[in-house]
Structure 1
Amino acid sequence: MIRLHKKKSDITTETLVNTVWVSTFLALVLTIPALSVFLGIYFTTGNLLVGAVIGFGLHFVALAFSDRISKNLTRLLS
């Protein structure tokens, strides 16, 4: 028989709010620069493919550093 452990239910409101803010700021940090570069290249050169490739690359470079960014945001907001 499989017994599943009960989840912790003693999460404080401060921890929950901090988690929401860190997640929101992390989402903004990961998407806004890549989207800005994509739109900037697209509107200045008119080349959709170049803008998409560079924006896509920048997004994944930011994802590679997401752990460090998340730790710094958590430290900053705590």
Structure 2
Amino acid sequence: MIRLHKKKSELTADAIVNTIWVSTFLALVLTLPALGVFLGIYFTTSNLLVGAIVGFGLHFVALAFSDRISRFLTRLLS
């Protein structure tokens, strides 16, 4: 049988709201620049492959720094 440890942790409404805002802003920071670069390259050069590669690369570079971005957003919104 699986036994789950019950920890007493009180989550306040402020902590939950802060978590939701940080998650939302992190999602925006990770997706919108890559999408903007992809669409910008696609509409200016009409080259879908180059836009996809550059946008995909930018997205993963942003993912590499997501821990730092998350900590910054948490400090900013706290």
TM-score range, shorter chain: over 0.9
Q: Which runs of 4+ in 1 moved over 3 A?
A: none
1:6 aligns with 2:38: no
Residue 26 of structure 2 is matched in structure 1 by 26
Please state how far the C-alpha of 1:8 moved relative to its aligned partner: 4.3
Taking the aligned partners of 1:18 and 1:8, their CA distance within structure 2 comes to 20
Residue 64 of structure 1 is matched in structure 2 by 64
Please state how far the C-alpha of 1:7 moved relative to its aligned partner: 5.1
Residue 53 of structure 1 is matched in structure 2 by 53
Taking the aligned partners of 2:27 and 2:6, their CA distance within structure 1 comes to 30
> How many pairs are equivalent?
78
In structure 1, stretches of 5+ residues that fail to align are none
What is the alpha-carbon root mean square deviation over aligned residues? 1.2
Taking the aligned partners of 1:37 and 1:11, their CA distance within structure 2 comes to 38
TM-score (norm 1): 0.94
Identity of paired residues, percent?
A: 82
Structure 1 residues 43 and 13 mapped into 2: Cα distance closer, same or farther (>3 Å)? same
TM-score (norm 2): 0.94
